[in-house]
């Protein structure tokens, strides 16, 4: 007879890995009045999971204070902001043509009002139905919003470690792997970075500071080639071991390649109906090497929650300096 820990059996049998991922993020929250806690609680309650049902599940995340240096991805840690004057930069930015990556044509010229103009704006004249105010719409919270809020509140390392803990809990002791195992691991790792909407796949790229359309062929490549690499890199970054799972996964995928025809059921987990309506509504302008944030008035690394698809197709720190000289 094989003895199995009853708590582990209940968790893995009763909850989908995504649900467990959210549960451990909820249990890690020390502030029940926080926005993150409220979003997690409400989302789980929609699936009839109440706090009383999960109160006996321990917090597997090691508690630590999150500081500002832990908020963003390790892929953005070496980002340098440069020393360009804000007024000169605004002159450049206001004359840039933004290129739509879908149609590959110039579709928009930015026309951001200066701070003085904004102060003189009469809020009474604002039309709440105006499409230009779409960024102010309170969207119905989706799992992607919850993940981004957790990144803000806990820091990216905590969220990433929760992903790894979930994967280890469910799959580390599996005697054999299946295609479904591969898909579930992929889903846990890529939630927040991959979206299916309007029959298109979109992937967030830290290297390019925004979202991009990818084909089903490229998505299959991402699973076959990028999954193990991402998993290993995340383990190293979080200083967390999955023991033999990455090697088992590698050996399995050597003989079981995923094709673009096998991706249909992933659409359910990554579907976001209002994704397109969110695109390019935030106060940031995407460059090839950063985004310029008009709220903080300086460049920074692009983040998934910026929802940027369009790009200037300029490098902020090189070509823009030359263009500024020309304007002067």
pLDDT value for 140:
54
Alpha-carbon distances of 285 from 46, 97, 102, 258, rounded to whole Å: 36, 11, 17, 36
pLDDT value for 101:
40
pLDDT value for 156:
92
Burial class (CB in 10 A: 0-12, 13-18, 19+), 121: exposed
Name the nearest CA neighbour of 304 among 157, 195, 167, 161. 195
Q: Residue-wise over 245-255: b if at least 16 C-beta within 10 A, else e?
A: bbebbeebbee
Write the DSSP string, 191-234: BTTEEEETTEEEEEETTTTEEEEE-HHHHHHIIIIIHHHHHHHH
Alpha-carbon distances of 178 from 163, 184, 249, rounded to whole Å: 19, 10, 9
Would you say 228 and 246 are in contact if contact means Cβ atoms under 8 Å apart?
Answer: yes
For helices 156-171 and 17-28, what crossing angle results, to 10°? 140
pLDDT value for 10:
55
CA atoms of 98 and 313, how far apart (whole Å): 7
pLDDT value for 320:
53
pLDDT value for 323:
56
Intervals of the chain under pLDDT 70? 1-13, 62-141, 319-328
pLDDT value for 319:
53
Which alpha helices (DSSP H) does the chain contain, by range? 6-14, 17-28, 35-45, 51-54, 86-93, 115-120, 143-154, 156-171, 179-190, 216-221, 227-238, 245-255, 266-270, 275-278, 319-327
CA atoms of 92 and 96, how far apart (whole Å): 7
Would you say 296 and 68 are in contact if contact means Cβ atoms under 8 Å apart?
Answer: no
pLDDT value for 161:
95
pLDDT value for 314:
85
């Amino acid at each position: 007879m094989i003895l199995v820990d009853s708590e582990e059996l209940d968790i893995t049998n009763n909850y989908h890995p995504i649900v467990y991922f959210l549960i451990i993020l909820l249990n890690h929250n020390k502030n029940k009045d926080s926005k993150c806690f409220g979003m997690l609680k409400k989302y789980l309650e929609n699936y009839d999971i109440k706090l009383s049902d999960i109160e006996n599940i321990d917090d597997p995340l090691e508690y630590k204070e999150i500081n500002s240096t832990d908020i963003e991805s390790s892929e953005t840690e070496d980002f340098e902001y440069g020393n360009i004057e804000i007024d000169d930069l605004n002159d450049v930015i206001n004359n840039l043509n933004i290129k739509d990556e879908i149609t590959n044509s110039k579709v928009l010229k930015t026309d951001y009002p200066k701070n003085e103009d904004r102060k003189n704006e009469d809020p009474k004249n604002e039309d709440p139905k105006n499409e230009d105010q779409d960024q102010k719409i309170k969207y119905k919270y989706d799992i992607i919003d919850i993940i981004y809020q957790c990144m803000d509140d806990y820091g990216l390392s905590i969220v990433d470690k929760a992903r790894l803990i979930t994967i280890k809990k469910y799959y580390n002791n599996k005697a054999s792997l299946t295609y479904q195992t591969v898909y579930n691991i992929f889903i846990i790792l890529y939630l927040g970075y991959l979206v299916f909407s309007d029959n298109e796949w979109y992937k967030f790229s830290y290297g390019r500071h925004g979202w991009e359309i990818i084909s089903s062929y490229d998505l299959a490549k991402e699973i076959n080639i990028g999954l193990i690499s991402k998993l290993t890199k995340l383990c190293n970054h979080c200083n967390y071991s999955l023991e033999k799972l990455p090697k088992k996964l590698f050996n399995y995928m050597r003989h079981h390649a995923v094709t673009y025809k096998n991706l249909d059921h992933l659409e359910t987990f990554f579907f976001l109906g209002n994704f397109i309506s969110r695109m390019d509504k935030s106060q940031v302008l995407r460059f090839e090497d950063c985004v310029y944030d008009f709220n903080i008035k300086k460049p920074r690394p692009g983040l998934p929650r910026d929802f940027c698809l369009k790009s200037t197709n300029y490098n902020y720190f090189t070509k823009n300096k030359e263009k500024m000289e020309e304007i002067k």
